[in-house]
A and B are shown apart, each in its own frame.
Chain A
Amino acid sequence: MRPNDRHYLPSHEWIKITGDTALIGITDFAVDELSSGNEGDLVYCDLPEVGRTLEDGETFGEIESVKAVADLNTPLAGEVVEINPAIEDHLEILSEDPWDRGWLIKIKLATKDTSKLLDAEGYEALLASQN
């Protein structure tokens, strides 16, 4: 079971809310799809500028592997207040620990309405249905 302290998008991003802010990252499934289990196959991650305002579901960046580019989408609207400074030079963090050290951006939430997002159980069900 994936962590149940956060919510998910079908496009494999997670959001973990703490007070008025939230951390956003991508799931182990997303990392594995991109890298096929080989951390060296991730080549680039493009993250937004601090201060950028994001709408629900907006694409805030891209992650690139040897064979593909994937969009990074925000599960909730908000303003980017921090990006993870370690990611750019250490994409292997995403393979090692996508849930904590592998967070990508921190946003100040414009809404805390998670009713349109998947919980851990819903995300697991989605993955199961795709297999």
Chain B
Amino acid sequence: MRQTPLHDVHVRLGAKMVEFGGWHMPVQYGSILDETRCVRERAGLFDLGHMGRISITGPDRVAWLDRLCTNYVERIPDGSIRYTLMCRADGNPIDDLLVYKGADEVYLVVNASNTDAVLAWMEEQRAGFDVEIDHRTSRETMIALQGPAALEVLATVTTDCDLGKLGYYKYTFGTVCGRANTRISRTGYTGENGFELYFPNAEAEGIWQALADAGAAAGVQPIGLGARDTLRLEAGMPLYGHEIDAAHNPVEADLGFALSFVQEKGDWIGRDALLAVRSAPTRKLVGLVTDGPRVPRQGYKLFHADHEVGEVVSGAVSPTLNTNIGTAYVPTDLGNPGTELQMDVRGKRQTVVLRELPFYSRTRK
């Protein structure tokens, strides 16, 4: 199992460590529910060193990525970030990722569990394009600071950069905790205001500790992958292997905002298949809540009038909504908010009610 440069820090903090995407990662330091509340109410510090990071350079980088990615890469302004997917010809995703568009490079952040698949896919697709692929995951690491106190805390340790002016899904380079030229992006996977920071492995422990110290008075705590999953689900953000995978495409997952079918982008891998799905969708991703005691879990079947109609793909206890939440695929005609379905929990039925996604929005409370 691979370890991030912060592995020993987590062990010293008493984290429960688990395997995740081939990495030995902290799932929780204390209570998952408390860690979720900490990010919603104060702020939390996340080790994201397992995420795959790949820098693309070379003269054809943008044209090539426009062939591989679902969104219109050429149109992303320099210094901006977009959510996108890489699909196979059948329209099913290999991964979802963030694209950082720079003046002379495009920087990609992909899922830990899919990094190898993405790299293999890029090798397969690079013929005829003049691009350089630099896989940086083992050299650089990544920390996130997320929550209402994130800006104020990060500002105390950041110089030569006005974080307050850095827009959502924008990035810049600044000096963080004394480390110059740190990539700072206003992104996250929690639904809160926050930042993701990228720097060489050797700086990891020092920056983690400096951020923890800077945030101590504001109540900043380290947050594990357990709460990260609850936070992203509350915020309606997809997770590969759940809302999307090799059998669940981005049209069905309601990720149309990340798909560009405009002529100027040209053809891209998966475009025809996704256009076909879009013209005749059969199922859709929905949110669901249940006041029953059981927590929705991936794989639980959903029933309507005793017919199996769908399947849960994610679930969690939501401390923010004070109920149990989940996402599921159901036929499009059964997907309206307010629809009641029965969830089979290992032989017992529990009523669930469909709900519009996201469950939680920082700006629409």
Question: B residues 263-308 with Cβ under 8 Å of A?
Answer: 293-295, 297
Separation in Å of the A92 CB from the closest CB of chain B?
A: 13
A interface size (C-beta, 8 A): 13
- Does the CB pair B295–A41 fall under 8 Å? no
B105 at the interface (CB under 8 A from A): no
- Does the CB pair A38–B34 fall under 8 Å? yes
- Does the CB pair B33–A40 fall under 8 Å? yes
A60 at the interface (CB under 8 A from B): no
B30 at the interface (CB under 8 A from A): yes
B165 at the interface (CB under 8 A from A): no
- Does the CB pair A40–B31 fall under 8 Å? yes
Pick the residue among B16, B32, B293, B348 that contacts A66 (CB under 8 A): B32
- Does the CB pair A66–B33 fall under 8 Å? yes
B28 at the interface (CB under 8 A from A): yes
B27 to chain A: which residues have CB within 8 Å? Answer: 67
- Does the CB pair B293–A44 fall under 8 Å? yes
B231 at the interface (CB under 8 A from A): no
- Does the CB pair A67–B32 fall under 8 Å? yes
Q: Taking CB as reference atom, which chain A residue is nearest B35?
A: A38
B346 at the interface (CB under 8 A from A): yes
A43 at the interface (CB under 8 A from B): yes
- Does the CB pair A66–B317 fall under 8 Å? yes
Interface majority SS on B: helix, strand, loop or mixed? mixed
B21 at the interface (CB under 8 A from A): no
Q: Taking CB as reference atom, which chain A residue is nearest B346?
A: A62
- Does the CB pair A64–B294 fall under 8 Å? yes
A46 to chain B: which residues have CB within 8 Å? Answer: 348
Separation in Å of the B294 CB from the closest CB of chain A?
A: 6
- Does the CB pair B297–A43 fall under 8 Å? no
Pick the residue among B28, B294, B316 that contacts A44 (CB under 8 A): B294
Given A38-B34, A40-B31, A62-B346, A69 and B293 contact (CB-CB distance below 8 Å): no
Q: Please report the C-alpha to C-alpha distance between residue A16 and residue B361 in the assembled complex, in whole angstroms.
A: 50
A67 to chain B: which residues have CB within 8 Å? Answer: 27, 32, 226
Q: Mark B322-359, 1 if CB is under 8 A from A, else 0.
A: 00000000000000000000000010100000000000
A36 at the interface (CB under 8 A from B): yes
Q: Please report the C-alpha to C-alpha distance between residue A38 and residue B293 in the assembled complex, in whole angstroms.
A: 18
Q: Mark B7-35, 1 if CB is under 8 A from A, else 0.
A: 00000000010000000000110111110
Q: Please report the C-alpha to C-alpha distance between residue A69 and residue B350 in the assembled complex, in whole angstroms.
A: 16
A69 to chain B: which residues have CB within 8 Å? Answer: 295, 297, 346
Pick the residue among A38, A44, A64 that contacts B30 (CB under 8 A): A38
Question: A residues 2-61 with Cβ under 8 Å of B?
Answer: 36-38, 40-41, 43-44, 46
Separation in Å of the B222 CB from the closest CB of chain A?
A: 14
Given A66-B317, A67-B226, A38 and B31 contact (CB-CB distance below 8 Å): yes
Given A36-B16, A43-B317, A46-B348, A66 and B295 contact (CB-CB distance below 8 Å): yes
Residues of A within 8 A of B (CB): 36-38, 40-41, 43-44, 46, 62, 64, 66-67, 69
Residues of B within 8 A of A (CB): 16, 27-28, 30-34, 226, 293-295, 297, 316-317, 346, 348
Given contacts A36-B31, A62-B346, 15 further A-B contacts (CB under 8 A): A36-B16, A36-B32, A38-B30, A40-B31, A40-B33, A41-B33, A43-B293, A43-B295, A43-B317, A46-B348, A64-B293, A66-B32, A66-B316, A66-B317, A67-B226
11 A-B pairs within 8 Å (CB atoms) are namely A36-B32, A38-B34, A40-B33, A43-B293, A44-B293, A44-B295, A46-B348, A64-B294, A66-B33, A66-B226, A66-B316
